[in-house]
Structure 1
């Protein structure tokens, strides 16, 4: 279990998994979909996930250069494993939302 947490732990990685599950996407598109993530944090998370083997970075030899990110087969398996968490969160959103707001530090 701790290996899986290492791969998707942190504020943005699970959100990244869900964005990348939609198919190949460019850095700017990811940033627009993940409101509040800085460019630095997004790049760092993508690099870590690529190093873990769950994200593929494709660099196209074009002018200007184009880079797309997608899930690897390992990443797709991980995304399937995360789906029950998303279902649980959606089912309990109403009960959890007030508690999550109250527990956030000021």
Structure 2
């Protein structure tokens, strides 16, 4: 059961932040925006996240209806994650947050470790 089912919300922002808030959920959704990924691929892209935390965040995103978990009956087990229709609906919001972060970094002279050609492609929604 999703944690949102047992709570009465009085603000849409409160509900949204309960669903996508935290250090990792938006980043997980961001990495799934254009592709299906296996657990190990997500772990590699996220770097410092622990296996336990990634598992927990994926379960919560699945419970909240933002990602699909596809298990293939084979040995070794293969599990893939992708966005649901609701997960896809949050991507334009994440693009806005991403671009805001880039402008914030520029305005406050903060360094981003992202090649400029990648930044441009993401801002132009090419990747």
**TM-score, normalised relative to structure 2:** 0.72
Instruction: Structure 1: give runs of 5+ residues left out of the alignment.
Output: 99-106
Instruction: Structure 2: give runs of 5+ residues left out of the alignment.
Output: 1-12, 112-127
Superimposed CA distance per residue, residues 46-80 of structure 1 (whole angstroms, 9 cap, x where no aligned partner): 00000000010000112221000010010000122
Alignment partner of 1:89 is 2:101? yes
Backbone CA RMSD of aligned residues:
1.4
Residue aligning to 1:74: 86
> 1:3: how far off?
1.2
Q: Residue 32 of structure 1: which of 44, 53, 59 is its match?
A: 44
Residue aligning to 1:43: 55
Instruction: Please state whether the residue corresponding to 1:56 is helix, strand or coil.
Output: strand
Say which structure, 1 or 2, has more relative contact order (CA 8 Å, 6+ apart): 1
Cα distance in 2 for partners of 1:56, 1:91 equals: 32
> Any conservation in 1 of the 2:30–2:94 contact (CA below 8 Å)?
no
> 1:96: how far off?
6.9
Change (3 A) 1:43 1:5: same
Alignment partner of 1:60 is 2:81? no
Cα distance in 2 for partners of 1:96, 1:7 equals: 31
Task: Give the number of the structure whose alpha-carbon radius of gyration is greater.
Answer: 2
Cα distance in 1 for partners of 2:83, 2:51 equals: 20
Moved over 3 A (4+): none
**TM-score, normalised relative to structure 1:** 0.86
